[in-house]
Structure 1
């Protein structure tokens, strides 16, 4: 079995996930992990699949035949690292460049962002534009947690950071 990471996007429509799942199943694939999102009328998916080598080309052909689908893929391997995984939730006033500031602080510490979900929302009582990010990181040791907390709070007094793993 080969492991592949596939990204797909298409104009969202009913039944699209079923069509993708059917193609994977029909070609002997095993759906290991995924992120599926509907954003602004577009369906986007990241899939980690195991597929028998003999059926890989057929699977890609089947997926490419789905109406309006664009896709990319890359061969993958099982991760070897034994790092600590920590989840956070961050809220701050929305402003341009905030994702860059956050990712820059995390990267500068040698910490890897493994998953990040962001959204724009309005504060319920004031209507102020808020940025919210939920993210998972992989770090080498426990000292990185304190350094990361300090680095993210240095972005501004408006930053509220919760460690969801604690």
Structure 2
């Protein structure tokens, strides 16, 4: 078996995920994991696919021929970072540089980001724009949850940090 990671971007329209799922199934592939979003009128997705070696070439060619899509394929790796899995939520008044500041702390502590989803939306009562980031992290052996929490909270007075085992 081979693992392919496909990134896709193209104009958003109904049925794209179904089209992709059918194509993967048609070529004997197994949909392992994905992250997909509609952003500014475009569909953007990344999919991990396991496929028998004898069907890998045909699936790769079919994916790159999807109409209206830019597709990039790479062969997946099996190595996983070691450490404690965490779920991190960061909420703050929306401003420039929040992701840069948070990821700088994560980088300093050698923390691996497995997933990251961000959004900005108006606060329910005040209407002030809030930024929210939800991520899955791997805290390496030797790093402490308390150190991560204190470093993130030191970034700004309005930054709310919630960390849970994940």
TM-score range, shorter chain: over 0.9
Structure 2 counterpart of 1:133: 133
**How far 1:80 sits from its partner (Å)?**
4.1
Residue 6 of structure 1 corresponds to: 6
Q: Secondary structure at the match of 1:161?
A: strand
**Root mean square deviation of aligned Cα:** 1.5
Match of 1:164 in 2: 164
- Indicate if the aligned counterparts of 2:60 and 2:73 stay in contact, CA closer than 8 A: no
Structure 2 unaligned regions, length at least 5: none
Q: Hey, what does 1:121 align to over in structure 2?
A: 121
Partner of 1:22: 22
TM-score (norm 2): 0.93
Runs of 5+ unmatched residues, structure 1: none
Q: Distance in 2 between matches of 1:8 and 1:53?
A: 22
SS of equivalent residue, structure 1 residue 164: strand
1:93-108 correspondence to structure 2 within 5 Å: 93-108=93-108
CA distance in 2, matches of 1:133, 1:142: 25
CA deviation string 1:109-141 (max 9, x = no partner): 111111110001111111111110001110123
Aligned to 2:42: 42
How many pairs align? 166
Rounded Cα–Cα distance in structure 2 between residues aligned with 1:79 and 1:36: 23
TM (normalized to structure 1)? 0.93
